[in-house]
Structure 1
Amino acid sequence: MSLLRLLPAALLCLPLIACGDTSSPDKTAGKAVAETAGGVGQTVKEAMDDARREIAEGNIKISADNQPRAEITPQGQLLIGGKPVALDDGQRRQLLDYRGHVVAVAMDGMDVGLAGAKLGANAAGEALKGIFSGDSEGIEKRINAEAAKIEAQAKRICDRMPAMLASQQALAASLPAFKPYATMDQSDVDDCGKDTVVNR
């Protein structure tokens, strides 16, 4: 990741430091950006917390072409077009198992999103520090280290995909009403992560 790519974001932060203590611009810049990043980070975190609660406690919505919307409730009920589908105990367990995989992937995805938002905010601050201190190499290493952590988090999502696919296929075989919504296939597993590598 080149610091040049971070400069546009960093330059947007310059008005925040325009009226600061010009006797120590690097400290002023760092403080202003840190405060802004903290505010942005808190806002994103609060939104993520709300989304987590909704996923954990609400219905999981599933869509498929030319099909009414389906939902899986936290109790393991399948709703299609708002109407419950008759289930036996085994099918309910399979629905809960599949729902668990969907929730886990969604939660991991939000973790990656939150980490990416924090990295973006921190990168702007680090780029400003690099401008004033001249330590662009050290800053780039720190940013790259954080980016590597995000890649590892993203890999966890891909690691979950085979089990999620197996759960979906078992459910589709057991519950014909769910079959049209079983749109995930092996290519989703094989392609996972190919477009999520952070450029450095």
Structure 2
Amino acid sequence: MKKTLIIFLSLVLMLTFAACGEKNGGKSPSESSAPTESGNTPSSKAGADENKYYGIGEAAEVDGIEITIDKIEIIDDSSILQKYVEGSVYVKVYATVKNISDEIQFAKDPLLCIVRDGEYDAELSDESRNRDVWNFETEGMYFEEAIDPGETNSGWMVFQLKPDEKEIIMKYNVMYDTVKFKLPIA
């Protein structure tokens, strides 16, 4: 009985290891590919590669929409900010969302958030928290709205950054690991 149990448990353990190997495409962790750096080549499907980072001007597809970061600019005039935090850097991130499905779409609100060390960083990065630095609706600001098939919604969002950041990683949808953008701060 003991020998049968040991053989059975050994088989279960071997099948478990075999299943893990298939999940990783048969590659060991050292063989798996590193994250793709963003470049100037346009990308097609975002959901296909969780380690893909999109850059400025690259279109990322997710959930029936296509998101493109058009540009980033540092806000030099802090007098336009209502709740400025001394020592912080504020940026406007310009984005365009296109409905690539056959149904009306709503992009998640907030559209983007900053990721630090692989996790969503609520301390500084949630655009919905930083909306109140303006304290009023400003022309050109991004707001969630219904987007008809083939139509776009564009605007800018404000993010508070740490003063020493030269690059930020942003993602769509705070709740899930979706498309990511790696963006330089000029």
Taking structure 2 as the reference length, what is the TM-score of the superposition? 0.29
Structure with greater helix percent: 1
Greater relative contact order structure (CA < 8 Å, 6+ sep)? 1
TM-score (norm 1): 0.28
